[in-house]
Amino acid sequence: MARSPRTARRAARKGPATDLPALREAIATARLPGAAPQVTEQARSLLLAWLGAQRGTFAATVRALSDGEAARTIAQALIDRSAAPEGLDCAAGCAFCCILPGDDGGTITASEARALHAALTPLRGQPDGRDWHPQGCPSLDPETRLCRAYDARPMICRTYVSRDVTACEAIAEGDARPGTGTLPAQIIHITAQSLARAALKGITLAPTHGLATLAAAALDGQDIDAALRASRHAPTSLDAERRRLSRGLGSAR
Ligand code: SF4
Ligand code: SF4
């Protein structure tokens, strides 16, 4: 049943959750400023369903919410049950989307960062994507242009698609063009992580990290703790990414 604003405000005053029912309440009443209501409610409902299926301890559940494993599970399930869009140009070895503009190359959660770090650590010392393009993702094989961490690639990589590879090439060179976008699972992923962060306020943090920075740190020999520190985003980054994705709703994907 939908909660009245007064009930939501009362719940919000209760302080940090200390058990699973209180965590459920915190997720049910978490507010995301500037969010598309439909997306927020879909992500909230999926996150609550995920929570309802948990049989572990409160601490384990908090950990899965804070490190993004909950958001990842929800988003991957969405991908698995959705038909792939038709008419995509995407193909193995097509890697303009692995040229990562900006300072750190995209938003990933801590669990995605750990998975990527573990996949890349054995590849230290080998040529990497930066040998192909100055802004190439370090996870990329510069010869084949295949992702060397394919099974561990984060949600942003799993959801980015295009119907026009020339648009991808132009974007990689800094020329904004229509024709690319992300599957709905990506905004659900980011929104679910935002809800988790809001619900965990006062309990623990739910940081995000930069994809390219994390991958570079792993390949440059940093251990996981140092790589997580080096790639850690400012707290405002997750919100900025959610708002950016919200502005793109209804675009190509
Ligand atoms: S998003 Fe663009 S660059 Fe990436 S695989 Fe698809 S068509 Fe190629
Ligand atoms: S992790 Fe893999 S798929 Fe993602 S940007 Fe890097 S090379 Fe491309």
Instruction: Give pLDDT tens digits for 137-160.
Output: 999 999 999 999 999 999 999 999
**Structural domains in the chain (count):** 1
In a domain, 4, yes or no: no
Q: How confident is the model at residue 253 (pLDDT cuts 50, 70, 90)?
A: very low
> Picking from 107-121, 168-182, 227-241, which range would have the lowest pLDDT averaged per residue?
168-182
Whether the pLDDT of residue 247 is over 50: the answer is: yes
Determine the average pLDDT of the residues in 55-78.
97
pLDDT of residue 244: 87
Q: How confident is the model at residue 3 (pLDDT cuts 50, 70, 90)?
A: low
Which residue has the least CA distance to atom 2 on ligand 2? 147
Determine the average pLDDT of the residues in 114-137.
96
In a domain, 190, yes or no: yes
pLDDT of residue 101: 79
In a domain, 8, yes or no: no
> Residue 40 belongs to what domain range?
19-26+36-247
Determine the average pLDDT of the residues in 233-243.
93
In a domain, 3, yes or no: no
Whether the pLDDT of residue 1 is over 50: the answer is: no
Q: Which of 109, 153, 186 to mutate to test the pocket of ligand 2 (most atoms within 8 A of CB)?
A: 153
In a domain, 2, yes or no: no
Q: What is the four-CA torsion angle of 148, 150, 155, 158, rounded to 10 degrees?
A: 110
Q: Give me the chain's average pLDDT, please.
A: 91
Which tops the pLDDT comparison, 1 or 104?
A: 104
Q: Does residue 202 contact residue 250 with C-beta atoms inside 8 Å?
A: no
Question: How far, in Å, from the CA of 21 to the mean position of ligand 1?
Answer: 43
pLDDT, tens digit, 9 for 90 and up, residues 185-219: 999 999 999 999 999 999 999 999 999 999 999 99
In the DSSP assignment, the letter for residue 30 is: -
pLDDT of residue 104: 76
In a domain, 10, yes or no: no
Q: Does residue 128 contact residue 119 with C-beta atoms inside 8 Å?
A: no
Whether the pLDDT of residue 107 is over 60: the answer is: yes
pLDDT, tens digit, 9 for 90 and up, residues 25-50: 999 999 998 878 999 999 999 999 99
Question: How far, in Å, from the CA of 147 to the mean position of ligand 2?
Answer: 5
Give the binding-site residues of ligand 1, using a 6 Å CB cut-off: 89-90, 94, 96-97, 160-162, 165, 168, 180
Q: How far apart, in whole angstroms, are the C-alpha atoms of residue 24 and residue 199?
A: 8
44 in helix, strand or coil? helix
In a domain, 5, yes or no: no
pLDDT of residue 15: 84
Question: How far, in Å, from the CA of 156 to the mean position of ligand 1?
Answer: 13
Is the ipTM of this structure higher than 0.95?
A: yes
* Exposure b/e, 224-245, CB count within 10 A at least 16 = b: beebbebbbbeeebbbebbbeb
Percent of the chain with pLDDT over 70: 92
Whether the pLDDT of residue 250 is over 70: the answer is: no
Sign of CA dihedral 95, 96, 99, 105: negative
Q: Which helix (H) or strand (E) holds 29?
A: helix 20-29
Percent of the chain with pLDDT over 90: 79
